[in-house]
Structure 1
Amino acid sequence: MPSDTALDNPQNLKGNWNYPTQMIFGPGRIKNLGQACKTLGMTRPLLVTDPGLAGLPMVKEAIAANEAEGLPTGLFDAVKPNPVGHNVEEGVKAYKDGGHDGVIAFGGGSGLDCAKAVALMVGQSRPLWDFEDKGDNWKRVDPDGVAPIVAVPTTAGTGSEVGRASVIVDEASHTKKIIFHPKMLPSTVISDPELTVGLPPNITAATGMDALAHCIEAYCAPGYHPMAEGIAVEGIRLVKEWLPAAVHDGKNLAARAHMLAAASMGATAFQKGLGAIHSLSHPVGALYDTHHGLTNAVFMPYVLAFNRPAIEDKMGRLAAFLGLENASFTGFQDWVLALRAELKIPEKLDGLGVGDERIDEIAEAAAEDPTAPTNPVPAGAAEMRRMFEMALEGRL
């Protein structure tokens, strides 16, 4: 019999489930970009990406291909690695000044998040922060003012291409805020693994660990959502089988494709919820400008250890599915530690340049983060501080 007794009660078997969008998946599928834009009624899209990608052939070729199909395409690339509200404001200005009628979100998590926020804000009268994912703030959005979006991921991590939210830094408060509305979900996603082939090994590892964090936390989050859990479990298997291969041989197109799928699966699954890995990573990223996936990877085993009383049985089932020799919580945690070592992930926070000088601020912010309520073990500021200290000391 299942050990999760809360789910023995039919009254607890309730949920609101939404699943992703049209996905055009596979090598070479970037050639479908122009048609995807036209299908959504775009005649003059704005491509939003980060400055690193903007100078690469893949972006120049995408814009040129659109031009050849009669789709003049603008470019906005003033996006920070952890995008800030000012980036969104500048993107909205570029959209309006250029007379654009749709957004191509092109890039990793930063480019995709900023692009989706730009698409949201081009037709709103309220400021961005009025749409923070708290309560029913999303109902303040004028849905008719949201521009259509085509998403083109170039990393396999955040899964932002199938998400209904963006993580944007509020520079005034130095906090990461989640901006949410259902229409922020891109109408079409073009997932072409050839676009990820040039990703350096360290970024491949960090983004892949972000996908793993999404899948693990979605699987462990309390509540009833068996579809999300099933997708999360298969996403974890894909990471196990293919992330090391993608890191060690970036030209392995099969590994790149499977990791793109795993990233989208993680973001699809985490509508069930996330947890303290993300609750802690968000303030650390906002204050120290660390890479989000890498930060998640550092916190991962410590949060798992903290949550062990609530997830031990579930992790045993997961370990058995993954074919781990030790089909238990310990076996799974040992696999996570071994994977981190193989991918050269820092063991402790000092590897990210993070110390204890802002521990109280981080603990308070983590406890208030929108991801905190779905941590398997309830965690306020004291508990977040404890996990942060574990990650500082390398203590499981």
Structure 2
Amino acid sequence: MACQYFAPCEHGAGSFTIAIPKVTFGRGTLSEVGQRVTALGMKNVALFTDPQLASGPYVATVSDSIKAAGLSCQIFSEIRVEPDETSVDSGAAFLREGNFDGMISVGGGSVMDTAKAAMVCALYPSPVRHYFAKPIGEGIAVPGPLLPHIACPTTSGTGSECTSVSVIRINDLNTKFVFASPYMMPDQAVIDPACCDSLPANVVASTGFDLLSHAIECYTAKAYTQWAEVKNPNARPLIQGANPWSDLAATKALQIAGEYLVRGVADADDHEARDQLMWGASLAGMAFGNSGTHLPHALSYAVTHLMNDITTDGYAVKSPFVPHGISVIVTAPATFRYTAEAAPERHLEAAQYLGADLNGAGLDDSGELVANRIIQLMRETNMPNGLSGVGFGESDVARLTDSSIRQTRAIANAPRDSNRVDLENIYRDAVSYW
């Protein structure tokens, strides 16, 4: 709490808030969902999932446990990877027509984010874009509580089960934006790491780099004391900058990524590694749900906005498609080389948590140490070689910058201020690493 990084600033925030769901972690916990539904007073349950999972064993386990508890359960699976306004509108219509009193989400971040946003639009009807901050939306605050929600992640990356944010693509702008409300936090997160046993290696790698970047962005984000004070405690955002709580979760998540990511990708039978990555993803979600991400996530949305004629092994999604974790990590080494100047101690510590060799290193080396450790992990898990590995080159830098510069909140959460030229230079430096 007395860390110099959180030193008071004039007109800055003087307090921070911690918000997480009730978290249950362990193999076999999906079968407990029915009893948890009963305890929350649900009678008529909506179960959101995606088309690939809808007929699979994880959804069956959850729906069977709900039915065994004597309750009604209806499945909605019209959810796309990288959800958009159409997905949210369909989900909201399903909720209104079904008169549900509770929500279960079973899937990755796309499913959980769609469930959160659909509940907002079903209970407080308005186009989803109106809930985004200006100038993208109308800046409408979510008016009140949503349905009781139990979130059950099936991948080890997004951490959405532990956050109050939803990431949705705005179709006519062809890119993703984030909106948030404390009301969107799930009531419970039921995290069963057995869901990761069958994931392809490339999916484990992509989601693992998402958790890694969540964690390091939280740890290196602008301190909460540097954000302007908000007098009304009910209006204070949970996306509040780095704080002592987010530090605890982020640093443990970084240690997990450094130790277990390569192992989890290499061997599907390494249950210790994959279980640890699942726990690390939730820890990183707890961290960024209470601090926010910064430049790597801001820059990633331009990659998925402008991607063209590309697919990724392990994902049954038609071209063009770059998984979120890959879109984030391809710019991360270049980004941390840039941001290290503003918080060298934090970057040096992050490199150490990730397992970098700090022998003889000083603060001036912090950016290179973080970048090189991430690059090493990328190479050991067969990730793309920067932007060139996902179809971009030097000629795309201006377009990428035009797209990402709209992500104002995430950009402002970085420890170092940046302008258009700075973002262009980061993209340029991220074209290739080896």
Normalised by the size of structure 1, how large is the TM-score? 0.92
Shift of 1:3: 9.9
SS at match of 2:210: helix
2:176–2:301 Cα contact (<8 Å) kept:
yes
1:133–1:180 Cα contact (<8 Å) kept:
no
Name which of 374, 388, 391 aligns with 2:413.
374
CA offsets per residue over residues 316-372 of structure 1, 9 Å max, x none?
233445553225423333221111100111112122123456543431332220311
Does the alignment pair 1:285 with 2:298? no
Q: Distance in 1 between matches of 2:134 and 2:282?
A: 24
2:259–2:354 Cα contact (<8 Å) kept:
no
CA offsets per residue over residues 1-59 of structure 1, 9 Å max, x none?
x9957727697572332231101111111111112222222112111111111122221
Change (3 A) 1:3 1:29: closer
Q: Distance in 1 between matches of 2:396 and 2:171?
A: 17
CA offsets per residue over residues 177-236 of structure 1, 9 Å max, x none?
212111111001100101111111100000000000000000001114122122211110
Quote the residue 1:351 is aligned against.
389
Does the alignment pair 1:388 with 2:427? yes
2:50–2:77 Cα contact (<8 Å) kept:
yes
Shift of 1:79: 1.3
Change (3 A) 1:179 1:80: same
Q: Distance in 1 between matches of 2:3 and 2:61?
A: 53
1:169–1:286 Cα contact (<8 Å) kept:
no
Q: Distance in 1 between matches of 2:108 and 2:215?
A: 18
2:5–2:223 Cα contact (<8 Å) kept:
no
Counterpart of 2:262, as a letter, is P
Shift of 1:126: 2.1
SS at match of 1:60: helix
Q: Distance in 1 between matches of 2:370 and 2:399?
A: 31
Normalised by the size of structure 2, how large is the TM-score? 0.84
Q: Distance in 2 between matches of 1:361 and 1:10?
A: 37
Change (3 A) 1:73 1:159: same
Q: Distance in 1 between matches of 2:126 and 2:8?
A: 44
Name which of 289, 293, 301 aligns with 2:333.
301
Quote the residue 1:276 is aligned against.
295
Does the alignment pair 1:154 with 2:154? yes
- Would you tell me which structure has more helix in proportion to its own residues? 1
1:150–1:187 Cα contact (<8 Å) kept:
yes
Counterpart of 1:124, as a letter, is Y
Shift of 1:252: 2.5
1:27–1:192 Cα contact (<8 Å) kept:
yes
What 5-or-longer segments of structure 1 have no aligned partner? none
Quote the residue 2:174 is aligned against.
174
SS at match of 2:72: coil
Q: Distance in 1 between matches of 2:414 and 2:369?
A: 21
Counterpart of 2:296, as a letter, is I
Q: Distance in 1 between matches of 2:179 and 2:95?
A: 19
What 5-or-longer segments of structure 2 have no aligned partner? 225-242, 308-320
Shift of 1:119: 1.9
How many percent of aligned residue pairs carry the same amino acid?
A: 27
Quote the residue 1:336 is aligned against.
374
2:119–2:147 Cα contact (<8 Å) kept:
yes
Name which of 315, 318, 332 aligns with 2:347.
315
Shift of 1:99: 2.9
More off after superposition, 279-288 vs 203-212 = 279-288
Quote the residue 1:218 is aligned against.
218
2:257–2:354 Cα contact (<8 Å) kept:
no
Q: Distance in 2 between matches of 1:91 and 1:378?
A: 38
SS at match of 1:168: strand
Q: Distance in 1 between matches of 2:195 and 2:353?
A: 31
Q: Distance in 2 between matches of 1:386 and 1:107?
A: 36
